[in-house]
Chain A
Amino acid sequence: MANITGVVTTSHIPSIGRAIAKNLKEDPYWKSFFDGYPPVHDWLKQTQPDVAVVFYNDHGLNFFLDKMPTFAVGAAPEYHNADEGWGIPTLPPFRGDLDLSWHLIESLVADDFDITTCQEMLVDHAFTLPMKLLYPDAGACPIRTVPICINTVQFPLPSAKRCFELGRAVGNAIRAWNSDSRVVVIGTGGLSHQLDGERAGFINKPFDIRFMDSLVSDPEWATRYSIHELVELAGTQGVELVMWLAARATLAGDVKRLHSNYHIPISNTASGLMVLA
C-alpha cells in the first residue's frame, strides 16, 4: 500500500514567479521568504516522494464562470501551465499519475463526494509555483502529480469543514492505494490577504499564527468557522487556507511540525510555509 510521507503547505503568490525568473532570492525584500525553503528541500531529499497530490485553487486559467466545479480532480497524463495574462513565465508541463487519479476519483465518489473529473486541465500559478519552490532545479518537475482544485472564486464556497472531510477521504484513499509509491500532499494558498475592495491589504497575523499552530495538534480548529467568518478573519483571498486544511486532513494519527516559516508581506499577502509529518 502507498504511504504518505508528509504534508507541505505554502503560499502561492504570482510575484514569486517573477522573483524566481529574475533570481531575486537574495534580494532583501525576498530573502526571508526564500530562506524558508532549503529545509523543505532537505526533507524532500530524505523522504523521496514519487508523487504529489496538490490541493490548490484556480484563478481563472482552467475554469471560467461558465462551468465552476466545487471540487475538481485531475486525471490527465500531463498538466500544462499557460499565459495567465500578466506575464509571469510559463513553466514546463507536469507529469500526471493516471493510476492514482482514477483511484482517488473512484474512492471519493464511493465516499459521497460529487467531484468533477478533468482529463485535460491547465494548472495556474497556484499549482506551478509551489512545485517550483519545492523542486527549484532547472527543467521539468521530477515527480508525478495529481492536482485537486477547490473553488474559491465564486460563492458559495465549500465550507472549511467540508474541505477537511475531503482531505481526510483523500488521505484514506492514498493509504488504501495498491502501490508502493511514496506520496507527499501539498496545500497551497493563503495566508491572510485581501485583494479587492476598500478593505484591500487586510492582513491578520494573530489569526494566521493561531491557524498554523492549530494544524499541529488541533487540526479541526478552523472548521468551526463559516466561510463568511473566515473572510472576516483572513480576508477574501485568505479563505485559501481551506487548501491547508484539506492537505493536513490527509494525515492520520499524531503529527509533528518539522518546519515552518511566516513572513509579511509578499505582495499583499502574509506568506506561510509548513512541513507536517
Chain B
Amino acid sequence: MTAMTPARKIPGTTLFDGEQARKGYALNKMCYSFNDAANRAEFQRDEDAYCAKYRLNRAQRDAIAHRNVLELIAAGGNVYYLAKFAGMFGLDVQDIGAQQTGMSKDEFKAMLAAAGKVEA
C-alpha cells in the first residue's frame, strides 16, 4: 500500500497536505479573501486589524509582516493563496522564486533559462 508508506522527503518542498491545511486555514482564508479588491484595500488600510479579523496566529502574523514566502509556507500557507497576497505588492512568481531561493531575480531568471538549454 503506497499510501501507508512514508514517502521520502523532496528537498526544498512542503507538500500542502492535511497537516499544512489544518495549520494554515486562517492564513489561507485571509489570502483567499484577496480575490476581492475591496478586501485588498481593507488590508492595506489597516493590516493589523485585517489579520486580527482572520485570527492569524503569531507565526502567521509575523510572516505576513515580513512578506516572507518561506515563513508563510512554514506557517501553513498554500502557494496559490499566497500568490494573491504577493500580487498586492506587484510581486510575480519570479520575484517570489528569487526570494525563496536566495537569488536575485536576474539570477533566478538565468537559472530558468538554463533549464531550457539542457539536452532532452
**In this complex, what residue of B is CB-closest to A196?**
B79
**Is A85 a contact of B94 with CB atoms below 8 Å?**
no
CB contacts (< 8 Å) of B106 on chain A: these are none
A232–B21 contact, CB under 8 A? no
Asked if A105 is an interface residue, CB under 8 A from chain B, the answer is no
Flag if A265 contacts B116 (CB, 8 Å).
Answer: yes
Collect the chain A residues with CB atoms within 8 Å of residue B79's CB. Answer: 195-196, 236-237
Given known A-B contacts A64-B29, A199-B12, A206-B118, A153 and B80 have beta carbons under 8 A apart: yes
Selected contact of A60 from candidates B12, B18, B81, CB within 8 Å? B81
Residues of A within 8 Å of B10, CB to CB, are 199, 228, 231-232
Q: Is A47 an interface residue (CB 8 A)?
A: no
Given that A196-B100, A200-B100, A231-B15 are contacting pairs, would A268 and B94 also be in contact in the complex, using a CB cutoff of 8 Å?
yes
Flag if A197 contacts B116 (CB, 8 Å). Answer: no
Question: A156-184 CB contact bits vs B (8 Å, 1 = yes)?
Answer: 10000000000000000000000000000
Interface size for chain A: under 10, 10 to 19, 20 to 34, or 35 or more residues? 35 or more
CA gap between A198 and B11 in the complex, in Å: 8
Stretch at the interface among B35-43, B45-53, B55-63: B35-43
Interface 1/0 per residue, B1-38 and A, CB below 8 Å: 01100010011111111100100010011011011110
Contact partner of B96 among A61, A195, A236, CB < 8 A? A195
A265 in contact with B113 (CB, 8 Å): yes
- B81 & A197 in contact (Cβ 8 Å cutoff): no
Q: Is the CB of A60 within 8 A of B35?
A: yes
Complex Cα spacing A200 to B108, Å: 9
**B residues in contact (CB < 8 Å) with A:** 2-3, 7, 10-18, 21, 25, 28-29, 31-32, 34-37, 40, 69-70, 73, 78-84, 86-88, 92-94, 96-97, 100-101, 108-109, 111-113, 115-116, 118-120
Known: A195-B96, A201-B97. 13 other contacts (CB 8 A): A60-B81, A65-B25, A65-B78, A84-B35, A84-B84, A85-B40, A154-B17, A197-B14, A197-B100, A199-B13, A236-B15, A265-B113, A268-B112
| 21 A-B interface contacts by CB (under 8 A) | A59-B83, A60-B35, A65-B29, A85-B84, A154-B17, A156-B17, A195-B96, A196-B69, A196-B73, A197-B73, A198-B101, A199-B11, A199-B13, A200-B97, A201-B111, A203-B116, A236-B13, A265-B112, A265-B115, A267-B92, A267-B93
